[in-house]
Structure 1
């Protein structure tokens, strides 16, 4: 019983669950802690991107979204250049990740429907 609970709990962690990672990213954005946002963004991007994301550099290099790349660069600039006068806009990141997440879900559902209703070929090739 305890092992079952421990397994369930592990499956609910942000590292193992996209929904939990997205919730953690939203919470980090609400806190306005740039380091927490960076860590949560990396965890969420690991679920979103096809490749494994371990750092912001990986995210910038492998992101399928130009907008997400720009947000990642802006966050990095804010973190490592304290003299940059513009603060990081976490609300914009929240809106972008929500939009990307919804678009990925729609595409996934469309793909599932296409596979489900795909007719077998009439002739063997």
Structure 2
């Protein structure tokens, strides 16, 4: 299962349709705090995390997920329209496993997911 975390319903819809077109099971939540609840109940293989969300940001959520789950934490990929070197550095420092700028290119998304699911890790910066 792939967890999509984004406060924007259009962004969630687009990502979900892309992933479902390749047969991936998808769960969608609207906030970082909901992502943490979801991961506690049913850990996904990968989390696609928006960064700029009201309340708990994607960076804050990723840090909490990593603190709670340690080495059992799922791979977390930043998905954001804020494609700056500063934002990338912040995400990398927070322990994100990859970074996808919006608008999301379908091939980039699948490359990152396929690499992770095959055990190759993400590390896409």
**TM-score, scaled relative to structure 2:** 0.25
Could you say which structure has the larger radius of gyration? 1
Q: Which has the higher strand share?
A: 2
**TM-score, scaled relative to structure 1:** 0.25
Q: Which has the higher helix share?
A: 1
